[in-house]
Structure 1
Amino acid sequence: MRKILFNLVLLTAVSASNLMYSYGVTGHRVVADIAENHLTGKAKRHLKKIIGDQKLAYWANWPDFIKSDTTGVWKHTDQWHYVNINPQDNFKSFSGSLKAQTGPNLYTQIKTLSAQIKDKKTSAKDREIALRFLIHLVGDSSQPMHVGRAEDLGGNRIKLKFFGENTNLHSLWDSKLIDFQKYSYSEYTMLLDVKSKEEVKKIQAGTLEEWLYDSHQSANKIYANTLMDGSYAYDYNYKYADLMERQLLYGGLRLAKILNDIL
């Protein structure tokens, strides 16, 4: 009897652990998988030296998984996943606010990690760690709520219901809206990655600052149309699924552009 109870407890613990890690996983893997489709031959050869035959999608969620580390070794990286910007209505003011930020953030770390990977003096291990973070953070940069507002922690304090389930605005865009589509990450890649070469080139054009402003503009639209304690279902999916899929695609194509440039 004790053995049966022990197994039930163990099974419950494992299930709970899997549940904790199930949210947000698909989106990051879609971004990484799309990027893989657009790597140059040279970039692929360099990546093989860094991570062997492993795919980018394999490491796409590692920077979130290490948040469960109890040693505190990675605690300082928590603030790398976002940059808080008050609502800005033009690129000039946004860029000024972005560059005036103090301390490490999503913007500074994408630039720093890119430089570390590109630098031939970086050790093999440090280059691999930098790559794992870069894959993830570029995905974060295309998620609008990661370029959200400090007052509500990027939507984390905006409580709402999605199909009757309690959640918040950040989680809705991190995972709930993506998971509602019921696609695996590879299925989503196949469905979204259908742009022509000319369209891909246009999406990949611009600077990191411009890409973040793009996400910031999307965040402003989302804030304006999502109410605290609102209750949403098919209506929200109808209104925002296209934008969510656009952001996944843009994140993947822009990650490929960064990797092709630095490798």
Structure 2
Amino acid sequence: MFKNICTLFLFMSCMLHSTFSYAWGITGHRVIAEIAERHLNRKTLKKVQKLLGGKPMAYYANWPDEIKSDTLKIWDKTFQWHFINFSQGLSFDEFSFKLKNYPTENLYSAIQKCQETIKDKSALTKDKKIALLFLMHIIGDLEQPLHIGREKDLGGNKIKLQWFSHPTNLHSIWDSKLIDYYKYSYTEYASVLDTNSKDQNKVLSKGTLEDWIYDSYLLATRIYSELNSYKKLDYEYAYYNKEILENQLLKGGLRLAKLLNLLFNT
């Protein structure tokens, strides 16, 4: 997938600006990247900075969303890399089986593909860079619960709602509107969230990739089930979902750091 298109990378990075809804929004993905970068060990940080040309991870955190605006359509297949939808009520074993046997490319398969490219000693530097950019972003996507949402409503995209009396949908609320409600810059939010002890962070980042995706799947189930308990979505909804939102952002950063530390130290 990466070969024969990477020569256009710098050109596309400069010219593309997306106008549609981002996963976690621009701020959310930068928060996750910023937290992750703070938890990279020295060896990993050096390798990551070399691939990114010395720029911080947050600079590229939204690139996989921005390229959705590419009118040349060379990145169209990567659209499926940002999510994976399931029916509800699956046990972990049922979920794991379906995850590993999903019929199309998806968030789970994309993460594995990016990991393989980064670990491949024969891979070109430009391919490793693009794999890193996608990996940084997609690990963030998997912590947005509705990116592991229901098949029938496409992760809440078909559930039309009002957010502070403005028309939107459930997916968009969790992508960006809840985060934007608090009006933090990405560095401010990263600093507010990244205050745990090392032992607390180990608990949040433990588990396998399958565990992490299933965690979000269960949270999506909770979000769906609680939706009808709110007469309207505004201050109350933001208040009662703040802890979930912030835990997911923090976990995204810590888990991304864990993954990168493993990849770049083997």
TM over 0.5: yes
Matches within 5 A, 1:63-142: 63-142=64-143
- Alignment-derived partner of residue 149 in structure 1: 150
Q: Does 1:42 align with 2:43?
A: yes
Specify whether residues 157 and 21 from structure 1 end up closer, same or farther in structure 2 by C-alpha distance, changes over 3 A only.
Answer: closer
Tell me by how many angstroms 1:89 deviates: 4.4
Counterpart-to-counterpart distance in 1, 2:79 and 2:244: 26
Tell me by how many angstroms 1:57 deviates: 0.5
8 Å contact kept, 1:158–1:169: yes
- Alignment-derived partner of residue 8 in structure 1: none
Matches within 5 A, 1:1-263: 20=20, 24-227=25-228, 231-263=232-264
Counterpart-to-counterpart distance in 1, 2:21 and 2:96: 34
Counterpart-to-counterpart distance in 1, 2:141 and 2:245: 12
Counterpart-to-counterpart distance in 2, 1:169 and 1:162: 9
Tell me by how many angstroms 1:238 deviates: 1.3
Counterpart-to-counterpart distance in 1, 2:257 and 2:137: 12
Larger Rg: 1
DSSP 3-state at the match of 1:160: strand
DSSP 3-state at the match of 1:72: coil
Tell me by how many angstroms 1:226 deviates: 1.5
Say which is worse superposed, 98-107 or 138-147, in terms of deviation.
Answer: 98-107
- Alignment-derived partner of residue 12 in structure 2: none
Letter in 2 for 1:157: K
DSSP 3-state at the match of 2:168: strand
8 Å contact kept, 2:230–2:237: no
DSSP 3-state at the match of 1:167: strand
| Matched residue count | 247
Tell me by how many angstroms 1:21 deviates: 7.2
Counterpart-to-counterpart distance in 1, 2:230 and 2:239: 19
Tell me by how many angstroms 1:88 deviates: 3.0
Say which is worse superposed, 102-111 or 22-31, in terms of deviation.
Answer: 22-31
Counterpart-to-counterpart distance in 2, 1:30 and 1:101: 30
5+ residue gaps, structure 1: 1-16
8 Å contact kept, 1:160–1:229: no
Tell me by how many angstroms 1:75 deviates: 0.5
**Identity of paired residues, percent?**
49
8 Å contact kept, 1:161–1:230: no
Counterpart-to-counterpart distance in 1, 2:81 and 2:18: 24
Counterpart-to-counterpart distance in 2, 1:18 and 1:203: 32
Letter in 1 for 2:135: L
Letter in 2 for 1:233: D
Tell me by how many angstroms 1:91 deviates: 1.4
> What TM-score does the superposition give when structure 2 sets the normalisation length?
0.89
Letter in 2 for 1:138: I
- Alignment-derived partner of residue 7 in structure 2: none
> What TM-score does the superposition give when structure 1 sets the normalisation length?
0.90
Counterpart-to-counterpart distance in 1, 2:129 and 2:21: 22
RMSD: 1.8
DSSP 3-state at the match of 1:206: coil
Tell me by how many angstroms 1:228 deviates: 11
8 Å contact kept, 1:142–1:251: yes
8 Å contact kept, 1:162–1:231: yes
Letter in 2 for 1:69: D
Tell me by how many angstroms 1:131 deviates: 0.8
Counterpart-to-counterpart distance in 1, 2:18 and 2:69: 13
Counterpart-to-counterpart distance in 1, 2:151 and 2:229: 16
Say which is worse superposed, 84-93 or 158-167, in terms of deviation.
Answer: 84-93
